[in-house]
């Protein structure tokens, strides 16, 4: 089942949910996809500098790994197409207006937004408001 490409429908059906736990981005030089699976990564990105993993903070702390920031994850209930245009821009613009950084990772079915843990409630409320504004339109 392919996802929705219609921006208006996507914004109206965001259904953002806060994921339990805190997450961190860690990098591992000379590592490859599949390495460090014991850390239970939510996401992996292979870069020329190494492997970036998004992992539970508790796993990073348990291994004494370095990270710079702690994030909460907001998962959108809307099933967006990977070809949808404007969704990431709309979300990041909304959060930018509040001074909240947004690291968006698209999965096959849903988008996941990593925001600073101390601003997660503000971000969630703002995205819920965005959905409400677009469902009324």
Partners of 16 in the beta sheet?
76
84 close to 5: Cβ distance less than 8 angstroms: yes
Distance separating alpha carbons of residues 93 and 101, to the nearest angstrom? 10
Ramachandran region of residue 15, left (φ > 0), alpha (ψ -120 to 50) or beta?
Answer: left
What does the angle CA 36 – CA 30 – CA 41 come to, to the nearest 5 degrees? Answer: 25
- Structural domains of the chain sorted by starting position, each given as residue range(s) with its CATH number in brackets: 7-135 (3.30.2130.10)
Q: What was the pLDDT predicted at 97?
A: 95
In tens, the pLDDT along 30-54 reads: 898 888 999 999 999 999 999 999 9
In tens, the pLDDT along 74-118 reads: 999 888 878 888 889 999 999 999 999 999 999 888 999 999 999
Residue 111 sits at φ, ψ, to 5 deg, of -100, 145
């Amino acid at each position: 089942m392919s996802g929705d490409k219609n921006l208006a429908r996507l914004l109206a059906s965001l259904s953002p949910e806060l994921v339990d736990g805190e997450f961190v981005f860690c990098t591992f030089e000379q590592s490859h996809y599949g390495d460090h699976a014991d850390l239970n990564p939510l996401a992996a990105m292979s870069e020329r500098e190494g492997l970036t993993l998004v992992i539970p903070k508790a796993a990073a702390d348990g291994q004494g790994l370095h990270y710079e920031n702690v994030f909460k994850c907001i998962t959108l209930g809307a099933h967006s197409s990977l070809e949808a245009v404007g969704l990431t821009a709309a979300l990041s613009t909304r959060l930018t207006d509040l001074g909240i950084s947004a690291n968006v990772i698209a999965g096959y079915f849903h988008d996941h937004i990593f925001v600073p843990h101390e601003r997660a409630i503000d971000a969630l409320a703002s995205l819920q408001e965005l959905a409400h504004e677009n469902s009324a339109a």
